[in-house]
């Protein structure tokens, strides 16, 4: 495992403090790991996508996620806030331009940031592309049951029968309730549903882990995902494709699991078709989870290819 050589908290206003860390080569290609969810947070294993001799590796937890404070907070938590946070972090670290590496929601935020600050971007490595369209949100809530009916049944039956037709609104209300007896079970139900659909070969569900502050580790991903979904990602429909002109000149490597049920390949293919010069690799034996062996290997290869193109190392 690659050790960090710097870390801290960045005050980004609105009461939010972002956890960040750096590792790898301080003189290498700057790359920022943009985690999914939103709310998933980063972990030490995410450093391993990058060759530490070639890359200056930056990881951070978005507002409300991971070690950032306050935990699972949806106040002043929108896509625009997260874009501005990334730019504040770049300036704070003294980075001129960086490679954006993001999967799932991380691909959404990478594209949104890149379109806002194209002059600060070296390129993109994207996985499990999610463009945050209404169709993709509906698929998450209603479509995945075609492949994982048992997981969907557990998810829906968590709610009273008369609330299942408004599943997102009902779950969001529970997830935002301050009472742990209400938001805790709702968070576990949401996280269990998503986790069951994330891999080509599902793993046994691990019951919710409790943080040092006594809150469930499932809460941030469940509450923040529902928060962003109910607000349509805080972006216009088709915005990320409609505004591609600002970044089309930049290199983009797209890696997609063929059997990704959470973010099906259609979005990755649409992005590739709209982005001449982008590279698309569809991994035949992978689902959504970035750490599945074949998907991880393809992501590492994409990152190495990018370094080779820049003549680094």
DSSP β-bridge partners for residue 127: 103, 255
Return d(Cα 201, Cα 216) in angstroms, integer.
25
| Number of continuous H segments (helices) and E segments (strands) in the chain | 10, 8
**Tokens of residue 294, six digits:** 């074949």
Residue 18 near residue 271, CB atoms below 8 Å: no
Active site residues: 104, 260, 288
β-strands 279-283, 252-257 pairing: parallel
DSSP β-bridge partners for residue 4: 23
Q: Which of 200, 185, 191 is nearest to 290 (CA)?
A: 200
- Structural element, H or E, at residue 230: helix 218-230
Give the list of residues 6+ apart from residue 196 with CB closer than 8 angstroms, or none: 148, 150, 151, 202, 205
Give the list of residues 6+ apart from residue 134 with CB closer than 8 angstroms, or none: 232, 237
Q: Which of 227, 251, 179 is nearest to 29 (CA)?
A: 251
Q: Where are the beta strands (DSSP E) in the chain?
A: 4-13, 16-24, 29-34, 55-60, 98-103, 121-127, 252-257, 279-283
Residue 287 near residue 259, CB atoms below 8 Å: yes
């Amino acid at each position: 495992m690659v050790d960090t050589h710097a870390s801290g908290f960045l005050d980004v206003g609105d009461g939010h403090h972002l956890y960040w860390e750096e590792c790898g080569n301080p003189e290498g290609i700057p790359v920022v790991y943009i985690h999914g969810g939103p709310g998933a947070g980063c972990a030490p294993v995410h450093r391993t996508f990058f060759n530490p001799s070639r890359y200056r590796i930056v990881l951070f937890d978005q507002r409300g996620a991971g070690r950032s404070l306050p935990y699972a907070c949806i106040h002043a938590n929108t896509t625009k806030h997260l874009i501005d946070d990334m730019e504040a972090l770049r300036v704070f670290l003294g980075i001129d331009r960086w490679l954006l590496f993001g999967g799932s929601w991380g691909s959404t935020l990478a594209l949104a940031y890149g379109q806002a600050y194209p002059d600060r971007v070296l390129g993109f490595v994207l996985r499990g592309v999610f463009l945050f369209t209404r169709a993709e949100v509906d698929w998450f809530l209603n479509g995945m049951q075609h492949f994982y009916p048992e997981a969907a049944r557990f998810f829906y039956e968590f709610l009273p029968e008369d609330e299942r037709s408004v599943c997102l609104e009902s779950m969001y209300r529970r997830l935002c309730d301050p009472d742990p007896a209400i938001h805790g079970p709702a968070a576990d139900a949401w996280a269990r549903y998503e986790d069951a659909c994330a891999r080509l070969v599902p793993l046994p569900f691990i019951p919710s882990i409790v943080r040092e502050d006594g809150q469930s580790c499932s809460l941030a991903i469940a509450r923040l995902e529902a928060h962003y979904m109910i607000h349509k990602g805080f972006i216009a429909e088709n915005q990320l494709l409609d505004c591609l002109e600002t970044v089309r000149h930049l290199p983009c490597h797209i890696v997609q699991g063929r059997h990704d049920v959470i973010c099906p390949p259609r979005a990755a293919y649409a992005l590739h078709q709209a982005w001449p010069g982008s590279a698309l690799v569809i991994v035949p034996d992978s689902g959504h989870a970035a750490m599945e062996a074949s998907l991880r290997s393809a992501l590492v290869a994409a990152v190495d290819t990018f370094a080779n193109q820049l003549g680094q190392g």
